[in-house]
Structure 1
Amino acid sequence: MVPLDTELTDLPQPLRWREWMARVEAVLFASAEPVPRAVLARVVGSDCALELLIEDIAVELAGRPYDIARVAGGWQLRTRACYADAIRAAQGDSDAARDLTPGEALVLTIIAYRQPVTRGAIARLTGREVSRDLIGRLSRQGLIARGPRSPEPGAPYSYVTTPAFLALFGFDSLRDLPDLEALQDAGLLAEDGIDLGMPIAGEE
């Protein structure tokens, strides 16, 4: 196989830029997962300003039903939110976020904001038992994974969110999580007096 010519020195700069744009868009189009910078860098020249290139692609996609989003530390072509109902109608199903039960959504929220956090700590925070089945469902969906063992007695595993969690909710990193105080002020975390910003009873 002939190595891919990434530098394209035989092309004038405008045509070289257009070819790099096409390559990056093709790679994003072919991938179902967010594509990290290191992967995109394999198809462009060493002097390519990748962020500027992606900005130019985004400008060209204005008015299209999809755009480029920075998700989970990479980039992904994603359909615009206004077309979600049309896509669900065509596919005959709903997205994973809508499939979460209220209990699963609550536990996932706690893990997102308090990670790494154990199942016991989640139970203490909510005042209710958190079943292994619930944790297993979130794990099978790829939204959470095991974190480090806790120093508490028995050294139980803690849980953390995954890149799939970021991708599902359109976050680039955990820093993009909605402001906790704003969620509490809106009453979205008021169920049973749960306060994710307060220490869990029995924890330092």
Structure 2
Amino acid sequence: MTRTAITSEAKQKHTRPKEAGREGVFDRELEDLPQELRWREWMGRIEAVLFASGTPVGHDDLARVVGQGASVEMLIEDIKTELIGRPYELAQVAGGWMFRTKTQFADVIKAAADLGDQSMAFTEMEMGVLCAIAYHQPIDRAGLKDIFGKDVSRDLLARLRFKELIASGPRAPRAGAPHTFVTTETFLVTFDLETLRDLPELDLAVADNGEQ
């Protein structure tokens, strides 16, 4: 036996047990369970992942905890059906799914425990700048100045960045190639949007008046 063959065989002996052990830790397929129990277990796994996450979880991540033949979409629909009448729901947001409290219970939650998130309160100017970025991204400070007729302060932009609602985009094709601004996944989640295509259509007349 050559040295290469011996080395190859040694590698196989060391790697195979690890792979087998790794597969044994988590059983996706659950073939030892009846179909109905298997489906319930998959539903429970998806719920557990979503409850543990503070951000939307995408299809591919959820597919990792269920069998290869299982439909994530069908499992999601069954979970939604079970949540009818509950104070929370399973929503599709920012390209994934997440649990959220139904809007009719917002005042109740705030009154009971004062859980209102003041960090997401906006001034009129902050909301205006955020909307301008959302609709015109990628846009730089010069572009924002064209819209508002005055400079937008770096402090205001820093506050929006601190709230993780905006981030740096590609360089603008202007002298000095300044950074542009774009919205983030947090922006989509905050305003209950699945994608930017869900933004309401702008009233052009209002937009034109705002730029003058």
Q: Give the structure-1-normalised TM-score.
A: 0.87
CA distance, structure 2, for counterparts of residue 120 and residue 94 of structure 1: 35
User: Is the aligned partner of 1:22 residue 2:50?
Assistant: no
User: Is the aligned partner of 1:10 residue 2:32?
Assistant: yes
Query: Quick one: higher RCO (CA 8 Å, sep 6+), 1 or 2?
Result: 1
Residue matched to 1:132: 154
Q: Secondary structure at the match of 1:180?
A: coil
CA distance, structure 2, for counterparts of residue 179 and residue 95 of structure 1: 28
Residue matched to 1:39: 61
Q: CA separation of 1:130/1:73 partners in 2, compared to 1, >3 Å: closer, same or farther?
A: same
Residues 94-140 of structure 1 deviation map (CA, whole Å, 9 limit, x = unaligned): 33686111000000001001100011111111112200000000000
Give 5+ residue unaligned stretches, structure 2. Answer: 1-21
Q: Which has the larger radius of gyration?
A: 2
1:91 shift after superposition: 3.6
Residue matched to 1:119: 141
1:175 shift after superposition: 1.0
Q: Which amino acid aligns with 1:141?
A: K
User: Is the aligned partner of 1:194 residue 2:210?
Assistant: yes
Residues 145-194 of structure 1 deviation map (CA, whole Å, 9 limit, x = unaligned): 0000101112111000000000111111111111223xx67xxx56x812
Structure 1 residues 141-150 or 39-48, which shifts more? 39-48
Q: Is the 8 Å Cα contact of residues 116 and 158 (structure 1) preserved in structure 2?
A: yes
Root-mean-square deviation (CA), in Å? 2.0
User: Is the aligned partner of 1:180 residue 2:196?
Assistant: no
Give 5+ residue unaligned stretches, structure 1. Answer: 196-200
CA distance, structure 1, for counterparts of residue 25 and residue 66 of structure 2: 13
CA distance, structure 2, for counterparts of residue 93 and residue 48 of structure 1: 37
Residue matched to 1:157: 179
Residue 101 of structure 2, aligned match among 66, 79, 90: 79
Residue matched to 2:80: 58
Residue matched to 1:67: 89
Q: Which amino acid aligns with 2:140?
A: T
Q: Is the 8 Å Cα contact of residues 58 and 68 (structure 1) preserved in structure 2?
A: yes
User: Is the aligned partner of 1:166 residue 2:182?
Assistant: no
Residue matched to 1:110: 132
Q: Is the 8 Å Cα contact of residues 97 and 168 (structure 1) preserved in structure 2?
A: no
Q: Give the structure-2-normalised TM-score.
A: 0.83
Q: Is the 8 Å Cα contact of residues 119 and 163 (structure 2) preserved in structure 1?
A: no
1:3 shift after superposition: 2.0
Aligned length: 190
Q: CA separation of 1:54/1:96 partners in 2, compared to 1, >3 Å: closer, same or farther?
A: farther
CA distance, structure 2, for counterparts of residue 93 and residue 129 of structure 1: 35
CA distance, structure 1, for counterparts of residue 148 and residue 118 of structure 2: 23
Residues 30-87 of structure 1 deviation map (CA, whole Å, 9 limit, x = unaligned): 1111111121111100011101110110010000000101111110000000011112
Identical residues among aligned pairs (%):
52
1:14 shift after superposition: 1.5
